Every structure is written in C-alpha cells, then in structure tokens.
Amino acid sequence: MTAALQNYQARMRRVLDHIDRHLDADLDLAALSAVAAFSKFHFHRQFTATFGLSVHRYVQLARMKRASYRLAYMDALDVTEIAMDAGYDAPDAFARAFRQRFGQSPSSFRKSPDWESWLAAFGPLDTARSKLMKTDYSSDDVTIREVPTTKVAIMEHRGSPATLGATIQRFIAWRKARGLHPSTSPTFTVWRSERSPASPADYSTDLCVGTDQPIAANAEGIKAGEIPGGRCAVLRVVGYTDNLEPAALYLYRDWLPASGEEARDFPLYCQRLSFFPEVPEHETVAELFLPLK
C-alpha cells in the first residue's frame, strides 16, 4: 500500500472515529469534511465511494445501532431518552423509523428482539466499517502469556449465529442479576465451531463470566466450568470488535506456522475488556487467546 493511500485511509478512519465519538452532535457534511481535511464539495462522493453508504445513511445506521443496543441491553433507559439520543425530536418519529428498519416497534424489540432482521439491517454498516478495519497484524502484535485458570459460569449457544443476540441478552440479564459486572468479573467468549459453518445449526459458542459463586440448577441453563490456565498467544484488537475473524485468521494462517508453537487442546477464545455502547465502537477492546502447548 502506498503512503498516499495509507494517508487517505487514515483520514477516512478519522471520520468514522469522530462519528462514533459524537453520535449526539450535529454531524453535518461541513463538520465531517473538516475532520478529514477534505473539501466539502467532494467529501460526500469520496465517503460514498469508499464505504458504499452516504454520510447521512452511515450516521443514521450508527445512531440506530446504538439505540437498538440500549433497548436490548440497558433496561434503565426509557424509550424517550433513547429516541432523543438517536437524533429524533419525538418518540413517535423514532418509533416509525425503528419499525421501518427492523419491522418491530422499539417496545416490542426491547421485549423480544427479532435478531435476524437486526443483523440484516446492519449488514451495510458492518460492510462499510470492514473496509478500513485493521487486518495487517504482525508478530509484534502477539505476546505469549501465562494465563491462570479462571472459574466461570457458562451459557452455551448452540444453533444459528442469527439467534446469538437472544442468548447474549439472556446472559447479560443473568450476569447483572448476580452483580457480575465486567469491570470486576472477566467476560469471555469461547468459540467451539468456525464462525460460518456449512450448516448454521452447527454453530457453537460459550458465553462465560468469571465467578467463584456456586452455580445452582437454574432455568437459564447456566453451568459451572473453567477457562484452563496455561501458555497462550494473545492478540489485542482495538475498535469494531464485533468481527474478530481477521485477527483469528492472522493467528492461525500467519503467526502459528511461523512461531514453531503448537496449539493446545482448548478452543480459541476472547476476553472482552470494554463494551459498546458503554464506550464508542472504535474504543472497544478484545483480546484473543490461542492456547499453546
């Protein structure tokens, strides 16, 4: 990649970061073109050519994604407050836009989200962000760490990735009810299958939270387990951590063959260190752990 192209992409990435950090602000074309240091007369076409979305559409989707997360995972916020933060003057205007996007009212989504429609709605946003995601990892990004054994509570997800959102919602509700906040109780995802198996029904992942509490029989299907200790190759990913596949591919395709190491008999997993929408998406942090012999 040429220095000129790297500079161009860095300026565009700066715009995405600015949008994520200022979703409550007036994100007009003049302000965003100034962030990128591009002419406002050309910026809208440059943005659309780079990301496949207009600036206005991108901002709308980013605000709506934050709103949907708040509805699903943050019960303390009421719909009116969420609507105002999404840039709507009244709850009914927000409700119309939300229903048009997801086929559900905000209150219906809060009670029982249709996660398949949700995934489809944000496909264009995820595609746009992936255009400038960091994928050029190097061995300098990987550290080998001795990891202690961690006792965890596990909620298993078995079946289509399209329904993972519902499992996450139940997991967060259970974790909150027991006071297991991520700041004090580490949160892990253990991938027991590939990200996109040939049959979606074969998708398998475990959601885990660190705890020494005994786990009694429960309706949620939570069970006790552990993340085993030992040597791990660790790769930290900062920003847009919904899709960690590029980082995982780097570990398996490039780092592991060149390292002379061998993988241990436990799946690849990650620890999520900060969460959207508690922080802007470009500030979310996750660490991937590849267990080694």
pTM of the model: 0.84
Residues 54 and 17 in one domain: yes
Is 150 in the same domain as 251? yes
Q: Give the pLDDT confidence of 42-81 residue by residue, as tens digits.
A: 999 999 999 999 999 999 999 999 999 999 888 878 899 8
Going by C-alpha positions, the residue among 186, 255, 266 that lies closest to residue 231 is: 266
80 and 217: one domain?
Answer: no
Enclosing domain of residue 28: 3-130
Same-domain pairing of 113 and 155 = no
Same domain assignment for residues 82 and 15: yes
Residue of 242, 227, 225 lying closest to 286 (CA atoms):
242
Q: Are residues 167 and 112 in the same domain?
A: no
- Supply the CATH number for residue 121's domain: 1.10.10.60
Are residues 252 and 198 part of one domain? yes
Give the tens place of pLDDT for each residue, 166-212. Answer: 899 899 889 988 889 888 899 999 999 988 888 989 999 999 999 99
Number of domains in the chain: 2
Q: What is the DSSP letter of 163?
A: G
Same domain, 283 and 258: yes
Residue with token string 């007009």: 28
β-partners of residue 204 are 158
The CATH number of whichever domain residue 212 belongs to comes to 3.20.80.10
Say yes or no: 119 and 147 in one domain. Answer: no
Question: Are 192 and 228 in the same domain?
Answer: yes
Helices (H), the chain: 3-21, 29-36, 40-51, 55-73, 79-85, 91-102, 106-111, 115-121, 123-130, 164-177, 245-250, 256-259
Q: Which of 93, 113, 130 is the last residue of a domain?
A: 130
HEC string of 95-119 equals HHHHHHHHCCCHHHHHHCCCHHHHH
CA 63 to chain centre: 15
